Structure 1
Amino acid sequence: MRRSSRSTQGASADVLPTRFLAGSRNSLQQSQFVLSFRPFLESKRHPTKVGWRCLTYLGKRVPRDGARCHPVVICHREFVPSRLHKLILISRISGCRTEDDGWWRWHTMSPSIESMQEDTMWRKREKKAKKPAVILRIAKHYGWTPGRIVSEILEWAEVILVAGTMAVLIMTFITVRMHVPTDSMFPTINGDRSLLKADSFFVDRVTYYFRNPKPGDIVVFRHEQYIRTKAPVADSAAELAGMVAGEIVTAEQVPAYLGGRAMFTEVAINSYIAALPEGAPVSLRTAQGNSYDLGLKTSEQTLEEFGIRWKVKKIMYVKRLIAVGGQTVQIRGGDIYVDGEKLEGERFDHYYYSDGLGYQYGVEPTLVPEGHYFMLGDNSANSADSRYWGFVPQRDIVGVPYLRVWPLSRIGVM
């Protein structure tokens, strides 16, 4: 790297950064300094930062006689002049630009306190400046520079992708919003088929990551809306019985029947199959009224093992948790008894019916299987709950309601 053989006003060239060509030249007045930008092209350091350091040094070399110092900033014309904009801004350009023998020259005023303040403000603005989208930076990294319209499209695509991903993560692991179409939980939660007056609330999905549901909790869970068959396994008992794809096995209010017993859920159906002794006949009547003779049970534990393939569609329900796995529950005289003890308190201060048509669970002492829950609606006269379709498995638990957001007159923490 070249260094000047002469110095102005006794300035030593050794104190300058070695990456710069700085000092006086025969072709310039002794009150001028020269800063070459060629080392910037060879250096990986930011030219603005490096140039500011050099200009700050030059500003300190003002002659003692008070003469004004005019540093001259020089770079080759192959270096795009617009790249010097930031450096020119902070070094207070005087407006003079010339081109001579392939070099650009900007005559600038010496850096001052004001210019240093401007530099500080510019650095703050630079930090706040909008950065290119990640997808554009990746494209640039691989050598592709899209046009303005394509860049806008890619930026919006990135925003939509990020927003969609965040929404999925939040709804999967943190919270979800729910509307209630029926009055099964009235007066705790109001329902409306039109949803215009129905309560709408957010469900906390995090709480049950740290503790198990307990009796008295209002719980949101997923429950079968319908079970629909797919094409049966080839040469299976289901195919031989004539079952086809698209058969509705159970619907929300219409059960399937196995051995003359109503079944609403996948859990109930498979529990019944598992409890049958070997050699017992298995026949299924679907919600559509079609009957299928599946033969005799051998080692099958689920209905799928007879060759039936199905799709289960679930929707969210909200009920009050009454009993957990291992407890025995019974509804008697409008009250609930768990392990022989009556449940009391404001949360259970409701009349629970046990003599309705189709009630199968809780009418007599009923043992709740491990890993399952027994759910009832507060307005039990108008509630489809565990009395009809049995138990809710742990895997179907969603969370606990925590914030009502509609209607406006009922907004608040639940």
Structure 2
Amino acid sequence: MDYTLLIVAVTLAAGVLWGLDRWVWAPERLASLGPHARRPRWLDYTAGLFPILLLVLAFRSFVFEPFRIPSGSMMPTLVPGDFVLVNKFVYGLRLPLLNLKIVRAKEPARGDVIVFRYPVNPRLDYIKRVVGVPGDEVVYLDKRLVINGERQPLSRLPSSRAGEGTKESWQQLRLENLDGRRHRIVLDPRLSPEVRPVPGMSAAQDCRYSRRGIVCRVPEGHYFVLGDNRDYSQDSRYWGFVPEKNIVGRAFLVWANFSNMKRVGRIP
């Protein structure tokens, strides 16, 4: 469900009733019933909620928006059931629905965890980690990440098991250092590094595919994203780049997980 469209529609309807009551119905009530005239109860629950709805819409559109993690593609950083908070203004302000940027700000950086509208189906929201920015050469061969010729450090952790949120003991937990920003990733050594792109997607024009992985040049105005659960994530390797216009904001906080509240905290 498109909650933004729903909130905009409800707010607009309440705003119309609020305006009619303020400038048409209220003067009529005052003229016919005097100063003790009361607004009908149904208007209290419609027009009366307009200021609150407008505040919620503005906060959700321009400040923060909550999202729920539905899949394991970002494990171990994010697990199913995590509720994350997304900063909507860090990359600039956009008008709701129109997605028109009205205030520019910083650009997404390597290592940022972003929420974006899935390029294949923009009605769906995805969450991944930015590994390539416009102009970058992104190499992901044999499950090792190289950016502009520099191999990104990948080290073992004290426990090599994937840990929380995974069931398979053979999955490997690693610490990746992406431009000095450290985060954990999961690898499955049983699976091949070969990538098979989604037919017809634009990535094929800017990427070379092999049995070892993928090499891409990120075009202007686009970003290359990966899931931290590298072998179980449908990301830019398969369906291409994320257009800048599709980016919703940066996920920065797990604010709840009702199965495990210890997960509350900042997102690395």
**Matched residues in 2 for 1:205 and 1:223: separation?**
17
- Deviation of 1:144 after TM superposition, in Å, equals 3.7
Report the Cα distance in structure 1 between the residues aligned to 2:59 and 2:84, rounded to whole angstroms: 15
Contact 1:335 1:351 in 2 (8 A): no
Partner of residue 343, structure 1: 152
328 and 143 in structure 1: CA distance in 2 versus 1, 3 angstrom threshold: same
1:393 maps to: 243
The answer as to 2:60 corresponding to 1:171 is yes
- Cα gap change, 1:141 to 1:161, in 2 (>3 Å): closer
Partner residue, 1:60? none
The residue aligned with 2:194 is: 355
Higher relative contact order (CA 8 A, sep 6+): 2
Distance 2:185 2:122 in 1: 33
Return closer, same or farther for 1:140/1:320 CA change in 2, 3 Å cut-off: closer
Matched residue type, 1:201: V
Give 5+ residue unaligned stretches, structure 2. Answer: 1-17, 93-104, 154-176, 199-203
**Equivalence for 1:323:** 132
Using a 3 Å threshold, how does the CA distance of structure 1 residues 185 and 337 change in structure 2: closer, same or farther?
same
The equivalent position to 1:199 in structure 2, one of 73, 82, 102, is: 82
CA separation of 1:340 and 1:150: change in aligned 2, threshold 3 A? same
* Overall identity of the aligned pairs, in %: 27
- Shift in Å, 1:177: 1.1
C-alpha contact (below 8 Å) 2:77/2:183 kept by paired residues: no
Aligned to 2:74: 185
Structure 1 379/347 Cα, relative in aligned 2: closer, same or farther at 3 Å?
A: same
**Of 367, 382, 385, which aligns to 2:217?**
367
Asked if 2 retains the 8 angstrom alpha-carbon contact of 1:135 and 1:155, the reply is no
Q: How is 1:59-74 mapped onto 2 (pairs within 5 angstroms)?
A: none
Contact 2:66–2:84 (CA under 8 A) maintained in structure 1 = yes
Paired residues of 1:175 and 1:205 also in contact (CA < 8 A) = yes
Whether the aligned pair in 2 keeps the contact of 1:375 and 1:391 (CA below 8 Å) is yes
CA distance in 2, matches of 1:149, 1:143: 11
C-alpha change, 1:333 and 1:154, in structure 2 (3 Å) is same
Query: Match for residue 83 of structure 1?
Result: none
Quick check: 2:62–2:89 contact (8 Å CA) kept in 1? yes
What are the within-5 Å matches in structure 2 for residues 253-332 of structure 1? 265=120, 313-332=122-141
Structure 1 CA distance, aligned partners of 2:25 and 2:216?
66
What SS class does the counterpart of residue 207 from structure 1 fall into? coil
Cα distance, 1:349 vs structure 2: 5.6
Tell whether the 8 Å contact from 2:138 to 2:218 is kept in structure 1 after alignment. yes
Question: 2:23 is matched by which residue type in structure 1?
Answer: I
Q: Tell me, what secondary structure is at the counterpart of 1:354?
A: coil
1:223 to 2:118 alignment:
yes
How much has 1:350 moved relative to structure 2? 5.2
**Is the CA contact 1:222–1:396 (under 8 Å) kept in the aligned structure 2?**
yes
Maintained 8 Å contact 1:220/1:318: yes
Whole-angstrom CA distance in 2 between matches of 1:140 and 1:357: 63
Return the offset for 1:402.
Answer: 2.3
The one-letter code matched in structure 2 to 1:207 is: V
CA distance in 1, matches of 2:23, 2:40: 12
Superposition TM-score, scaled by structure 1 size: 0.41
Q: Match of 2:227?
A: 377
Structure-to-structure mapping, 1:70-219, within 5 angstroms: 138-139=23-24, 142-145=27-30, 150-191=39-80, 198-209=81-92, 210-219=105-114
- Looking at structure 2, the residues matched to 157 and 218 of structure 1 have their Cα atoms a distance apart, in angstroms, of 38
Q: Structure 1 140/185 Cα, relative in aligned 2: closer, same or farther at 3 Å? A: closer
Deviation at 1:342, TM superposition (A): 1.1
| Higher Rg | 1
Change (3 A) 1:357 1:365: closer
Query: CA 1:182–1:140 in structure 2 vs 1: closer, same or farther (change >3 Å)?
Result: closer
Counterpart residue type for residue 41 of structure 2: E
Supply the AA of the counterpart residue of 1:394: E
The 1:134/1:152 distance shift into structure 2, 3 A limit, reads farther
1:159, CA displacement in angstroms? Answer: 2.6
Of Structure 1 and Structure 2, the greater strand share is in 2
Distance in 1, Cα, partners of 2:26 & 2:47: 17
Which residue matches 2:95?
none
Deviation, structure 1 residue 185: 0.5
| C-alpha deviation, 1:187, in angstroms | 0.4
What root-mean-square deviation, in Å, do the aligned CA atoms of Structure 1 and Structure 2 show? 2.8
Gapped runs of 5+ residues in structure 1? Answer: 1-132, 192-197, 225-264, 266-311
Distance 2:110 2:186 in 1: 15
Q: Distance in 2 between matches of 1:215 and 1:330?
A: 14
Q: Structure 1 residues 152 and 370 mapped into 2: Cα distance closer, same or farther (>3 Å)?
A: same
Q: Letter of the aligned partner of 2:40 in structure 1? A: S
Q: CA deviation at 1:410?
A: 1.5
TM-score normalised to the size of structure 2?
0.62
Distance 2:265 2:216 in 1: 36
